Amino acid sequence: MKALYTIALWMFTTVAMAAGTVWIDVRTPEEFHSGHKDGAVNIPFDQISQRIGELKLEKDADINVYCRSGRRAGVAESTLESLGYTDVDNIGGLDDALKYGQ
């Protein structure tokens, strides 16, 4: 299972980097599996500092984070900024993320 996860994460990273914006769903895996924005990767907000390196992003990458209501995304945004990421946006909740760019 870990191998499939690693391959899926690598594929996501490749596609996301080509698209320009990285979408991170910071909800729980259960919430993520119940529905998420197409192309989003799931890193729960309380794991963001330990796992953001898996995406191999530049510090100036365009990163959008969302959760259910925006609270956890706000924590994730602050954490990423404290780690040196300079272009992080809290989009709010899943509904906001789904409407984003339409």
Give catalytic residue positions. Answer: 67
Please name the residues in contact with 4: beta carbons below 8 A apart, sequence gap of 6 or more. Answer: none
Residue 57: both structure tokens together: 């992003």
Neighbours of 74 (CB within 10 A): 16
Give Cβ neighbours of residue 68 (< 8 Å, ≥ 6 apart).
27, 31, 93, 94
